[in-house]
Structure 1
Amino acid sequence: MKTAIIYYSKHHGNTKKLVDAIVESNPDIDLIDITEKHEVNLCKYDRIGIASGIYFGKFAKEILTFAKINLPEYSKVFFVYTYGSADKKSYTNEIKKIVKDLYCDVVGEYSCPGFDSFGPFKLIGGIQKDHPTEDEISGAIKFYDTVIEKTNALITKRKLRKKLQLEACN
């Protein structure tokens, strides 16, 4: 099964640290930097990761636009993101709406703090220094392992259901 992770990581590269670690442990993943590729055919992928830092309380506008244009309907997606301040309740609202409108299955999300020195945080030397930590990076790798298990289970279940439907028709 093929996996792609599309990502946008600016400023300190916090999100890139997570996706690089996931890819290092799973070298068959295609990593797509959306600042370099604006249109990609994602139809050949069984799993699509969407990774971003949080900018003004949501995923980067660049990744939101990319997902609207390039994400195929009915995909199995997962989210990976880093944030400076920990009000996580609404960070994924906008990306989840895009994914829902495309009838995609969300199979998980992973987040952790990331060093943030944007805006007023610059005056105090930043917040969430030394993040993501080694433990948080390891957590991202473990999270991806659960994504593999969940998507494999979903695909197996759908194949079985389809087989039973075909048998019932004969």
Structure 2
Amino acid sequence: MKVMLVCASVSHGNTKRVADVMGQVLEARVVAPEEVDLAELAGCDLVGFGSGIFTGKFHPRLRQFVGALPEREWGRAFVFATSGLPELPVRPFTRPLVRLLEQKGFQVDDAFSCRGWDTWLPFKLVGGIRKDRPNGADLVAARAFAEGLRARIGAVS
């Protein structure tokens, strides 16, 4: 199974740490949106798209990258995120990216998120929130998530 993780991790490396753990399990390269080779992306069985959450949204670099992809049958995907605050059921931050990926032709199988160190205003005034996150338990959860994906999707490919 060929897997790629497209990760925009810009503030504290939170999302990159999660992506690296998932990448080990899935035997996947972790690349920034600007480093993606579209031919390689087209040959993937599974692609993960992740970033930190900024004012309730995935990072603009990741959203712009996905928005610029041509519409076609791409294959399977998942999304992952780190955020200082939890995802709200009434306004989930994963939903817009999932919908955009589906419009582009991906079959989105799942989503993962965990807390991460957040220094966005007004949190910056107090040194940020969740400074100890993602922690060991979060990385264990990311590993378990990736193992579950590998078991479900690897059996299908």
TM normalised by structure 1 equals 0.82
- Over the aligned positions, Cα root-mean-square deviation in angstroms equals 1.8
Give the number of the structure whose alpha-carbon radius of gyration is greater: 1
Q: Is contact 1:39-1:70 (8 Å) kept?
A: no
Matches within 5 A, 1:1-170: 1-26=1-26, 28-34=27-33, 36-37=34-35, 40-41=38-39, 42-70=41-69, 73-89=73-89, 90-155=92-157
CA deviation after TM superposition for structure 1 residue 50, in Å: 0.4
Deviations 1:90-117 (A, max 9, x none): 2012201211212322111111000001
Tell me, in whole angstroms, the C-alpha distance in 2 between the residues paired with 1:80 and 1:64. 13
Q: How many residues of Structure 1 are paired with residues of Structure 2 in the alignment?
A: 153
Shift of 1:38: 6.0
Higher relative contact order (CA 8 A, sep 6+): 2
The farther-off stretch of 72-81 and 10-19 is: 72-81
Pair 132,105 (structure 1): closer, same or farther in 2 beyond 3 Å: same
For residues 66 and 120 of structure 1, the distance between their equivalents in structure 2, rounded to whole angstroms, comes to: 28
Which of structure 1's runs of 4+ aligned residues deviate more than 4 A?
none
User: What is the CA-CA distance between 1:39 and the residue it aligns to?
Assistant: 5.4
Amino-acid identity (%): 28
- Secondary structure, counterpart of 2:35 in structure 1: coil
Q: Secondary structure at the match of 1:136?
A: helix
**TM-score under structure 2 normalisation?**
0.88
Give 1:61's aligned amino acid: P
Give yes or no for contact 2:4–2:46 (8 Å, CA) kept in 1.
yes
Return the letter of the residue paired with 1:15. T
Judge which range, 75-84 or 60-69, deviates more. Answer: 60-69
